[in-house]
Amino acid sequence: MKKHLFIISALIIVLSLVTACAGQPAAEPAPAGEQPAAAFKAGLLAPGPVNDGGWNQTAYEALKRMETDLGAEIGYVEVEMSPAAFEKAFRDFADQGYQFILGHGNEFTDAAVAVAPDYPNTFFFLSSSRFYDPSVPNVIGLNSDSSQPCYAFGYIAAKMGTGAGLIGGMEIPPISESFTGFINGAHAVNPDFPVQVTYLGNWTDTASAKEASISYIDGGANFLLGNADFAGNGVYQAMLEKNVYGFGMFGDNTEKAPQQILANYILDYGAGLVHLADAVKDGTFKPTSNIEFGLVDDDVIYIVYNEGAATPVPQELRDEVAALYSKISSGEIDTLAPVE
Amino acid sequence: MDFVSIKKRLLKFSRSAWTPFAAIPIALGIGAIVLLIAGYNPLQAYAAMWQGAFKDRTAITEVLIKATPLIFIGAGLAVAFRCSIWNIGAEGQFYAGAVAATAVGIYLGDLPRFLLVPLVLIAGASSGALWGMLAAFLKNRFGANEVVTTIMLNYIAIFITGWLVTGPMIETAGLFAQTAKISQNAWLWRFLPPTRLHTGFILAVVVALVLYIIIFKTSLGYTIRAVGINPEAARYAGINVKRKVLLAMAISGGAAGLGGAVEVAAISYRLYQLISPGYGFDGIAVSLLVNNNPLGVIFSGILFGALRSGAEVMQMNAKVPSVLVFLIQGLVVLSVVAFGVYSYVSKEKEE
Amino acid sequence: MELIPSILFLQGILAATWRMATPILYAAVGEVFSEKAGVINIGLEGVMLIGAFSAYSVAFESGSLWLGLLVGILAGILSGLIFAFFTITIKANQIVVGAAFNMIGMGITGFLYRSMYAVSAVPLGLKTFQSVEIPFLSSIPFFGEVLFKHNIMVYGTLLLVPLATFVLYKTAFGLSIRAVGEHPKAADTVGVNVVRMRYVSVMIGTALAAVGGAFLVLAYADQFVEGVVSGRGFIALAVVVFGRWKPWGAFWSSLLFGIFYALQLRIQTMPDVNIPYQFLQALPYLATLVVLVGFNKRRVQAPKTLGVPYK
């Protein structure tokens, strides 16, 4: 009997809690309290933790940028990595009047296309996507072409090094395309330059990433490039410990291996997104194609050399790389040419 | 059956089904303390969570959609666990089912709907069952412990899936690591538009019901449970233990595989490298939470679905990291245990 | 000149093997204690995460790796205490509680990490335990690289395994542990406190699991990340069974797993290997499966009362 009493009292607690919660609508007080009327809202669906120091963090920082630059009200969600979750997350944002929603990866395409017709006043952006379809005009693919800066990295590696190891989390376009660019760049210098790709099969195993890096170093490589979110930290650590060269991905990672990182590829997604968001906010955004960011958008995608490296990239090589930029931008060099 | 025993049974059932819900306030309470320590407002967080899970019809159907794979997996695992087979491999069996279902849905896409839908589901279930039976076979034939084999088979299934979607089964454009969409004829019916609630959910409930009947109302189920309680005694009693083990794993894997097939045929319409965010591991808790009762799994599956669904809105609106939901799920399980409403062992004795 | 590279190749693999095996081994030896006493803890993954996070955060804040390790161990012991309370005192199903621990470990560490170290560009790395080159021995060709250039926590396993074997098989304490796992009633009648022995064994298990987790952040990679354990807790669980519930068995089993893991990483670095990389990734798991099946002629039973609470 006692047990039943316990259960009943527990149930009462649940119910009261539930009603108490329900009676308290989640409508948050608008942050900063600036825009009184319908504030501009920007949302993000991140496929992984936004503190990963890589791909997801890039998007999160872009979102923050919209908050500071445009006074946008922002929200983000690290969706469960299952297609079942994507549509709901899009709808949850759209239902709350978000006008700008970024699905940070091609995997969100199906869900965005399914949801978009119901919310004609909301723009659904997709990272790592070349999606454009006039029949769903409010879904726009945004591709930040990582193969371009990585082509430059490959070029530098082949000029300065003995071999390179590329360590990826899983084989998805933001990863594999950056590697393709790297390999093409290296092979442009020397078709026989040893460069290989390792996939870890996850995004979290820093230890395996480090071990994979060491494998390359033992095999004679002295350049590393990691593109594996969290696990990428293991690659930086291998650079530091084994004192080999490497590059930082998506942001300034210099401090993780101050002497070894020769250059960082900065993806300032915010710079690219803010003016899009601004146009969406003003109602002037009328896309007629998908959007590509490349080296030509030099505020979005660029390379910063590390002057503090033990052996900084020499000036003449930097000049060569700079000369590559225009060829890449003009299409004379195809950084995504298939590698075999 | 006289009235008293019916009443007793009902009570017993409601007890096992409702315990998880009664444990929620405790779990949420501890969660609230953690939230407070971390500087969040728990009321605001939970309000957002509630909103996310139950604010309207669509939200509720989304909870059921999230619960669907958990119910399939949990109900199947209940059978294996009742047989004392510690199948940690539902994740791999789910993948196996999803792969087979996708293959059928794509390559036999021209078949008419009334043929293709059942074929997709059968392919998923049998593929999952085979993957599960592999572990049972290794146990029966070589004495290989199923805890080890199923863990290994999880990884192998996931890697095979990765290979298929980046290699042989990659979509024709060949750009992204995903298969083509399955034929529209293979799609499950979404019967409550505009929501996405699909017949797969109904199927999950039916499967849970059927497994409940098999386990508790048939002699087959009785023998499976007998093996689970004491394999030596069961052998003495003339039960073919190895066959029961094989069967329990086939049922368990089959249900998980069916879950994978439904996920593809009703929600994702294509295969990705990570088609499951760990349903197979959540399913373990979903089953154990209700003392391996397939009917109870419906409730615990929905509970976990609601927590997951709510957690995402909690992050959206209250800015609380959604990873907290794992903590709450774990605490729910522990609170259920702590309630002491049932004890696994005393329950075993009862039977 | 194919010979030299292949020796280097082997050397690299073998050196990596021990490092890769270490975190799994700590957890597995701990789990041997726990299971010998009749308590199976499938929550190793969660406990390892808890150990990793506590060790990391304390080491990061205090700047002392040893303090971090110590707190990691304490967190492991505390986890073990809670686990033991539920499984031994309340007599809850051990698999249930283990499953709960996996979720709690993931949830609490992820949540606290996020709350404490909000998204930031500040590097959160530690100065990890460095390799200790054993004088003289480390300069022996081949073996020097393979055996004598590791960090202290890797060497620690050499102490751990014989010590664990000694404790389990040569001491009264170890005898009691095994007795409460095999014949708790008999142990009880001769005056062994079954409950206390099980508590202690579980706590040894979780303490060592926490060390395995701490190893990942203090001596391997230099930073905690969410989910850093990446399935090693489950592998450790498999290693215990595979190693026939013996510390040395766990040692060889985790080395076996480590060697195949190191091998697959190496093969991925080789040019002109046209095997899909997913098959290479699957190699360690497949190999474990094959060896388990192939070498399981002499069947060893699990501790008799594994998973069964004692009244």
Q: Does the residue B35 lie in any domain?
A: no
Which domains, from first to last, does chain C contain? 3-119+152-294 (1.10.3470)
Q: What is the pLDDT of residues C199-220, one digit of tens each?
A: 999 999 999 999 999 999 999 8
- Give C48's contacts in chain A (Cβ within 8 Å): none
Q: For residues C10 and A166, what is the distance between their CA atoms, to the nearest angstrom? A: 21
**In Å, how far is A45's CA from the nearest CA of chain B?**
9
Q: How far is CA C133 from CA A22, A100, A214, C142, C149, in A?
A: 63, 56, 17, 14, 5
**Which of A21, A84, A107 is closest, CB to CB, to B47?**
A21
Distance from CA of B18 to the nearest CA of C (A): 17
Judged by DSSP in three states, A313 sits in coil
Residue A304 region, left (φ>0) first, then alpha (ψ -120 to 50), else beta?
A: beta
Query: Is the CB of B269 less than 8 angstroms away from the CB of A110?
Result: yes
Q: To which H or E segment does residue A201 belong?
A: none
Q: List the pLDDT tens digit at each of the 351 positions of chain B.
A: 456 666 676 666 666 656 666 778 888 999 999 999 888 999 999 999 999 999 889 899 999 999 999 999 999 999 999 999 999 999 999 999 999 999 999 999 999 999 999 999 999 999 999 999 999 999 998 888 888 899 899 999 999 999 999 989 998 877 788 999 999 999 999 998 888 999 999 999 999 999 999 999 999 999 999 999 988 899 999 999 999 999 999 999 999 999 999 999 999 999 998 899 899 999 998 998 888 999 999 999 999 999 999 999 999 988 898 899 999 999 988 888 877 544 444 444 444
Cα of C2 to nearest chain B Cα, Å: 31
Q: Give the CA count within 13 Å in the CB-facing half-sphere of B102.
A: 28
Tell me which residue range forms the domain holding B213: 41-350
Which residues are paired to A264 by β-bridges?
Answer: A248, A304
C58: pLDDT strictly greater than 80: yes
Structure tokens that stand for A127 in this block = 């990272």
Integer Cα distance of A171 and A211 in angstroms: 19
Query: What mean pLDDT is reported for chain A?
Result: 86
Give percent helix, percent strand, percent coil of chain B, each to the nearest 5: 75, 0, 20
Residue C12 has its nearest CB partner, among A215, A233, A255, at A215
Mutate to test the interface with A, among B274, B308, B343 (most CBs of A within 10 A): B274
Closest CA to C83 of C116, C37, C52, C114: C37
What element of type H or E holds A68? Answer: helix A55-70
Name every chain C residue with its beta carbon within 8 A of the beta carbon of B229: none
Higher pLDDT, A1 or C140: C140
Contact flag A196-C8 (C-beta cutoff 8 Å):
no
Instruction: Find the CB nearest B277 among A80, A118, A170.
Output: A80
In the numeric block, the tokens 């042989």 are attached to B168
A246 has pLDDT over 50: yes
Closest to A55 (Cα-Cα) out of A100, A124, A104, A109: A104
Contact assignment for C270 to A196 by CB distance below 8 Å? yes
Phi and psi torsions of C141, nearest 5°:
-60, 150
DSSP C189-232: HTT--HHHHHHHHHHHHHHHHHHHHHHIIIIISSS--TTTTTTH
| Alpha carbon distances (Å) from C64 to C34, C56, C152 | 30, 10, 15
| Residue A25 burial (10 A CB sphere; 0-12, 13-18, 19+) | exposed
Within a domain: residue B264? Answer: yes
Is the ipTM of this structure higher than 0.95? no
Using CB atoms and an 8 Å cut-off, which of residues 196-215 of chain B contact chain A? 196
- Of B81, B327, B340, which has the smallest distance from its Cβ to C111's Cβ? B327
**What is the per-residue DSSP string for B240-301?**
-HHHHHHHHHHHHHHHHHHHHHHIIIIIISS-BTT--SSHHHHHHHHHHHTTT-HHHHHHHH
Residue closest to A245 by CA, chosen among A184, A177, A331, A158: A158
Residues 90-149 of B with CB under 8 A from A: none
Instruction: Measure the N-to-C terminal CA separation of chain C; round to a whole number of Å.
Output: 67
A3 in contact with B at a CB cutoff of 8 Å?
Answer: yes
For residue A133, the model assigns a pLDDT of 93
Q: Is residue B230 part of a domain?
A: yes
Nearest-by-Cβ selection for C296 from B142, B163, B166: B142
Across the interface, do C118 and A51 touch by the CB < 8 Å criterion? Answer: yes
Chain A residues within 8 A of B19 when measuring between CB atoms:
7
In chain A, domain spans: 39-145+269-293, 147-248+310-330
Answer yes or no: is pLDDT of A25 > 70.
no
User: Is A281 a residue whose pLDDT tops 50?
Assistant: yes
Q: Could you say which of B288, B340, B343 has the minimum Cβ distance to residue C99?
A: B288
In C, which residues are within 8 Å of B41 by CB distance?
Answer: none
Q: C268, A197: Cβ pair inside 8 Å? A: yes
Q: Nearest C-alpha of chain A: how many angstroms from B277?
A: 5
Give the range among A166-170, C120-124, C248-252 with minimum mean pLDDT: C120-124
3-state secondary structure of B80: helix
Hey, how many other C-beta atoms are within 10 angstroms of the C-beta on C289? 24
> Structure tokens of A51?
């503190």
Nearest CB partner across the interface for C282, out of B159, B327, B334? B159
Q: Per residue, what are the HEC states of C4-37?
A: HHHHHHHHHHHHHHHHHHHHHHHHHHHHHHHHHC
Instruction: Quote the pLDDT of residue A286.
Output: 86
The one-letter amino acid code at C147 reads L
For B47-69, the DSSP string reads: HHHHHHHHSSHHHHHHHHHHHHH
In a domain, B33, yes or no: no
Q: Which residues pair with A227 in a beta bridge?
A: A168
Mutant choice from A51, A55, A64, A222 vs C, greatest count of C C-beta within 10 A: A51
> With an 8 Å Cβ cutoff, are A198 and C265 in contact?
yes
B270 interaction partners in chain A (CB closer than 8 Å): 110
Instruction: Give the pLDDT band of residue A322 (cuts 50, 70, 90).
Output: very high
Q: Cα dist. C202→A206, B221, C157, C251 in Å?
A: 28, 34, 19, 19
Lookup result for tokens 């590509």: A292
Which residues in chain C are contacts of B308 at CB distance < 8 A?
A: none
Contact by Cβ (8 Å): A269, A241: no
Whether residue B159 and residue C237 make contact (CB cut-off 8 A), yes or no, is no
User: Is residue B27 included in any domain, yes or no?
Assistant: no
Label residue A31 left, alpha or beta by phi (over 0 means left) and psi (-120 to 50 means alpha): beta
Chain B: partners with 3+ C-beta pairs within 8 Å: A, C
Give me the pLDDT at residue C114, please: 85
Interface-testing mutation among C41, C42, C96, with chain B (most B C-beta atoms within 10 A): C96
Q: What is the pLDDT of residue A26?
A: 38
- Is A13 within 8 Å of chain B by CB? yes
Nearest to A50 among C9, C119, C221 (CB): C119
Query: pLDDT at position C300, please?
Result: 66
Q: Please report the residues numbered 149 through 188 in chain B whose beta carbons come closer than 8 angstroms to any beta carbon of chain A.
A: 158-159, 162, 166, 175-178, 181
Residues of C in contact with A208 (CB under 8 A): 20, 230, 261, 265
Smallest Cα distance from A77 to chain C, Å: 14
> Residue B177 in contact with residue A171, Cβ under 8 Å?
yes
Contact (CB<8Å) B337/C100: yes
Nearest-by-CA chain B residue for C239? B148
**Does C115 contact B38 at a Cβ distance shorter than 8 Å?**
yes
Minimum distance, in Å, between the CA of residue B341 and any CA atom of chain A: 7
Arithmetic mean of pLDDT over chain C = 89
DSSP string, A80-114: -SSHHHHHHHHHHHHHTT-SEEEE-SGGGHHHHHH
Q: How many domains does chain B have?
A: 1
- The pLDDT value recorded for residue C128 is 85
Whether chain A has a CB inside 8 Å of the CB on B312: the answer is yes
Q: How far is it between the farthest Cα atoms of chain A?
A: 86
Which amino acid is it at C210?
A: A
C-beta of residue A141 within 8 angstroms of C-beta of residue A156: no
Helix, strand, or coil (residue C64) = coil
C141-146 contacts, C-beta under 8 A, 24 or more apart: C142/C7, C142/C11, C145/C11, C145/C15, C146/C11, C146/C14, C146/C15, C146/C18
Pick the closest to residue A218 from C281, C267, C254, C127 (CA basis). Answer: C267
What SS3 state is found at C255?
Answer: helix
Q: What kind of fold does domain A147-248+310-330 have according to CATH?
A: Rossmann fold (3.40.50)
The fold adopted by the segment(s) A39-145+269-293 is Rossmann fold (3.40.50)
**Given this model, what pLDDT does residue A249 score?**
92
Backbone φ and ψ of C89, nearest 5°:
-75, -50
Token pair for C15: 């050196």
Looking at residues C243-268, what average pLDDT do you find? Answer: 92
- pLDDT confidence of residue C140: 82
Determine how many CB atoms are found less than 10 A away from the CB of residue C295.
Answer: 10
DSSP conformation class of B178: B
Q: Using an 8 Å Cβ cutoff, are B153 and B89 in contact?
A: yes
Chain C contact for A339 (CB, 8 A cutoff) = no
Residues of chain C contacting residue A202, judged by C-beta atoms under 8 Å apart: 230
Alpha-carbon torsion (A65, A68, A70, A76), positive or negative: positive
List residues bridging with A74 in a β-sheet: A42
- Band of the pLDDT at C121, cuts 50, 70, 90? low
pLDDT value of position C74: 97
Give the residue among B147, B242, B261 at the shortest CA–CA distance from B199: B261
